[in-house]
């Protein structure tokens, strides 16, 4: 200040309380950030862990090779399709005879009973829409039947729904816990500032001057703490991504720290900080600096 | 300048004082005369809007303090200097403390900085400008408080620091104080302005605990 700094930039008051509050804010934002991580990272993580789901569309006997190729090309243009392969009857037979029991049966049968087919591997994010993909395939000329791995899909979708709802519950609890800790930190800073601002008010400071001080003492630490928590989460995400420990222990990959979560944390920090600053000024305004 | 009209204050079931009437005009010095617990500090608090009367009203420059909105109250407060030894900014340096008081009174940054240095010098504490306020002695805090109160260029000075005039202040600080009064400033104090440097005449306002204030 002696260098000409504005008086609203005076050193904060009780440093111990404010330091404790700053730690609380960082911890609170870390818990809140974990909630964001679970909520935003879960869909991508589940999607990345999905097993390949293959629909098999059987091609009628009258379909000539040129038509089959056109069919494959048409399937490739569909958004649900990640991979498509035409399988001839001979290829299907060759695959089947790899299984000893099936080979015995096929030898007893004599001729090749397999139909030609188009195997469509669904994109991981299109698995919920497998029914639409099945209907579309059935409507294509030359397709006689479509085989869908119903039981496996059912298990997959139900399992994912369970994980997703559990994740949401954990995320909500973590978000509430995080915000409560943040609220505790902000209350601690606010309480220490209220007394100081009451003194400013007695000296005649206007609402703008009180708000400037409040923003510096309350909102700025809240934003800085949320930025620090975001940076810490980003760092943890990077360490987890490139750490060999998880793969060595055969632990499933942790979802990446979601893109945009840093900004969400910053926005949450700024919003909470500004609201708390305004609340402190309002309290001084209400008590008229008593 | 400052007017108390039929002011009463109840603390719990007991009246601290009742029907207190007093007017302090520009260029006038008045001191409240009453025993401990008579309500002198409460009256000072009412004049700056920290406390409000149970009955009656307090006016500063014809504006009712208790009815003033926050913005109006802050405008009134900028024209008042309160001298009291209960400051809450004891972690900051003497010059910062001075700047804060001036900035809150509406001075801009440049004025604040220049006036604060000047006011610290006039309090005789130029060498202690950067010393934390909490490390100053009672007399040094008193000199700084009086100097800041004058530097704010108020219309009204409220002094709630019994014995402040017993400290030995630099002669030019007492001179500034006398000049403030002769320029039309009003002073209400809880102790009689006196001492060797302060040759000030004023009137005592008696505060009877039974409520028969005069």
Distance CA B81, CA A204 (A): 9
**What backbone phi and psi angles, to 5 degrees, belong to B10?**
-105, 130
pLDDT band at A225 (very low <50, low <70, confident <90, very high): very high
pLDDT number for residue B209: 55
Asked if the model's pLDDT at residue B90 lies above 70, the reply is no
Q: How much is the mean pLDDT over chain A? A: 84
Q: Given an 8 Å threshold on Cβ–Cβ distance, is A10 in contact with B71?
A: no
Pair B125, B143: CB distance under 8 Å: yes
For A3, residues 6+ apart whose C-beta sits below 8 A from its C-beta are: none
> 3-class secondary structure for chain B?
CEEEEEEEEEECCEEEEEEEEEEECCCCEEEEECCCCCCHHHHHHHHHCCCCCCEEEEEECCEECCCCCHHHHHHHHHCEEEEECCCCCCCCEHHHHHHHHHHHCCCCHHHHHHHHHHHHHHCCCHHHCCCEHHHCCHHHHHHHHHHHHHHCCCCEEEEECCCHHHCCCCHHHHHHHHHHHHCCCEEEECCCCCCCCCCCCCEEEECCCCCCCC
Which chain B residues touch A196 with a CB distance below 8 Å? 88-89
Quick one: what percent of chain A has pLDDT higher than 90?
Answer: 24
- Among A8, A13, A199, select the one facing B91 at the smallest CB separation: A13
Distance CA B151, CA B16 (A): 34
Q: How far does CA A170 lie from the centroid of its chain?
A: 13
Query: In DSSP terms, which residues pair with A81 in a beta bridge?
Result: A122
Pair of tokens at residue A98: 């790899």
Distance CA A77, CA A65 (A): 19
Which chain A residues touch B70 with a CB distance below 8 Å? 207, 285, 288
Buried b (16+ CB within 10 A) or exposed e, A246-274: eeeeeeeeebbbbeebbebbbebbbebbb
List the one residue out of A158, A157, A162, A181 whose CA is nearest residue A35: A181
Distance CA B159, CA A67 (A): 102
> DSSP alpha helices (H): ranges in A81-218?
89-96, 100-109, 130-138, 150-202, 207-214
pLDDT band at A27 (very low <50, low <70, confident <90, very high): very high
Give the helix/strand (H/E) hosting A55. strand A54-59
ipTM comes to: 0.83
For residue range A13-25, list pLDDT tens digits in order. 556 777 888 899 9
Q: Given an 8 Å threshold on Cβ–Cβ distance, is B73 in contact with A10?
A: no
For residue range A84-121, list pLDDT tens digits in order. 988 888 888 888 888 888 778 877 777 777 888 889 98
Gap between the terminal Cα atoms of chain A: 27
pLDDT number for residue A26: 93
Lowest-pLDDT range of B15-29, B57-71, B161-175: B161-175
A209 reaches B (C-beta below 8 A): yes
For residue range A191-206, list pLDDT tens digits in order. 888 888 888 888 888 8
Beta-strand relationship, B29-33 and B14-24: unpaired
Query: In DSSP terms, which residues pair with A243 in a beta bridge?
Result: none
Burial of A162 from C-beta contacts in 10 A (0-12 / 13-18 / 19+): exposed
List the one residue out of B131, B81, B122, B127 whose CA is nearest residue B101: B81
What's the DSSP call for residue A240? H
Please work out, in degrees rounded to the nearest 5, the angle formed at the alpha carbon of residue A40 by the alpha carbons of A36 and A44.
150
Lowest-pLDDT range of A4-8, A253-257, B102-106: A4-8
Burial of B121 from C-beta contacts in 10 A (0-12 / 13-18 / 19+): middle
Give the helix/strand (H/E) hosting A266. helix A261-287
Pair of tokens at residue A262: 């840093």
Q: Given an 8 Å threshold on Cβ–Cβ distance, is B88 in contact with A196?
A: yes
**What backbone phi and psi angles, to 5 degrees, belong to A31?**
-65, -45
Pair B180, B153: CB distance under 8 Å: no
Q: Given an 8 Å threshold on Cβ–Cβ distance, is B106 in contact with A201?
A: no
Is the pTM higher than 0.80? no
Residue of A nearest to B66 (CA): A288
Asked if the model's pLDDT at residue A209 lies above 80, the reply is yes
B131 reaches A (C-beta below 8 A): no
Beta-strand relationship, B2-11 and B14-24: antiparallel
Which chain B residues touch A6 with a CB distance below 8 Å? 103, 109, 112
Nearest-CA distance B165 → chain A (Å) = 22
Q: Given an 8 Å threshold on Cβ–Cβ distance, is A204 in contact with B89?
A: no
List the one residue out of B186, B194, B200, B191 whose CA is nearest residue B22: B186
Beta-strand relationship, B80-84 and B156-160: parallel
List domains and CATH numbers for chain B: 1-79+155-214 (3.40.50.300), 87-153 (no CATH)
List domains and CATH numbers for chain A: 9-48+157-287 (no CATH), 54-148 (3.30.70.3040)
Q: Given an 8 Å threshold on Cβ–Cβ distance, is A201 in contact with B109?
A: no
List the one residue out of B35, B50, B4, B9 whose CA is nearest residue B211: B9
Q: How far does CA A48 lie from the centroid of its chain?
A: 12
Asked if the model's pLDDT at residue A125 lies above 80, the reply is no
pLDDT number for residue B211: 45
Query: Within 13 Å of residue B119, how many CA atoms lie on the same side as its CB?
Result: 29
pLDDT number for residue A266: 93
Q: Given an 8 Å threshold on Cβ–Cβ distance, is B104 in contact with A4?
A: no
Q: Given an 8 Å threshold on Cβ–Cβ distance, is A11 in contact with B92?
A: yes
Q: Given an 8 Å threshold on Cβ–Cβ distance, is B78 in contact with A204?
A: yes
For B154, residues 6+ apart whose C-beta sits below 8 A from its C-beta are: B79, B80, B81, B105, B185
B145 reaches A (C-beta below 8 A): no
């Amino acid at each position: 200040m002696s260098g000409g700094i504005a008086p609203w930039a005076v050193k904060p008051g009780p440093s111990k309380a404010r330091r404790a509050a700053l730690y609380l804010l960082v911890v609170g934002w870390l818990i809140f950030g974990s909630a964001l991580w679970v909520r935003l990272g879960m869909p991508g993580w589940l999607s990345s862990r999905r097993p390949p789901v293959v629909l098999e569309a059987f091609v009628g006997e009258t379909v000539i090779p040129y038509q089959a190729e056109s069919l494959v090309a048409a399937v490739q243009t569909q958004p649900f399709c990640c991979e498509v392969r035409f399988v001839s009857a001979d290829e299907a037979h060759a695959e089947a005879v790899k299984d000893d029991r099936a080979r015995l049966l096929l030898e007893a049968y004599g001729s090749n009973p397999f139909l030609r087919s188009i195997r469509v591997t669904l994109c991981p994010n299109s698995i919920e829409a497998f029914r639409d993909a099945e209907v579309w395939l059935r409507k294509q000329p030359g397709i006689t039947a479509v085989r869908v791995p119903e039981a496996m899909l059912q298990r997959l979708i139900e399992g994912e729904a369970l994980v997703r709802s559990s994740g949401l519950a954990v995320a909500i609890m973590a978000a509430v816990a995080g915000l409560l800790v943040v609220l505790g930190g902000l209350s601690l800073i606010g309480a220490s500032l209220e007394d100081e601002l009451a003194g400013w008010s007695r000296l005649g400071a206007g609402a703008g001057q009180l708000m400037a001080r409040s923003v510096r003492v309350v909102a700025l630490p809240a934003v800085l703490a949320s930025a620090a928590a975001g940076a810490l989460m980003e760092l943890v995400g990077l360490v987890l991504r490139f750490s060999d420990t998880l793969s060595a222990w055969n632990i499933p990959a942790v979802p990446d720290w979601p893109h945009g979560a840093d900004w969400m944390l910053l926005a949450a920090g700024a919003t909470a900080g500004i609201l708390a600053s305004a609340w402190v000024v309002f309290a001084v305004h209400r008590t008229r600096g008593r | 300048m400052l007017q108390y009209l039929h002011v009463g204050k109840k603390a719990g079931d007991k009246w601290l004082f009742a029907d207190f009437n007093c007017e302090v005009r520009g260029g006038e010095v008045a001191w409240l005369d009453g025993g401990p617990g008579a309500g002198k500090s409460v009256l000072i608090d009412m004049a700056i809007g920290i406390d409000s009367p149970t009955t009656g009203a307090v006016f500063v420059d014809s504006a009712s303090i208790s009815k003033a909105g926050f913005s109006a109250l802050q405008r009134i407060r900028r024209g008042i200097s309160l001298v009291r030894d209960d400051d809450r900014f004891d972690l900051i340096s003497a010059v910062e403390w001075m700047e804060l008081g001036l900035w809150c009174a509406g001075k801009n940054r440049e004025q604040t900085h220049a006036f604060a240095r000047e006011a610290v010098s006039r309090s005789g504490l130029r060498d202690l400008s950067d010393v934390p306020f909490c490390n100053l002695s009672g007399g040094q805090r008193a000199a700084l408080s009086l100097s800041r109160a004058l530097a704010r260029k108020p219309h009204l000075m409220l002094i709630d620091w019994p014995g402040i005039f017993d400290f030995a202040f630099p002669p030019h600080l007492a001179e500034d104080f006398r000049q403030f009064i002769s320029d039309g400033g009003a002073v209400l104090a809880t102790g009689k302005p006196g001492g060797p440097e302060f040759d000030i005449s004023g009137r005592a306002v008696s505060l009877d605990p039974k409520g028969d204030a005069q």
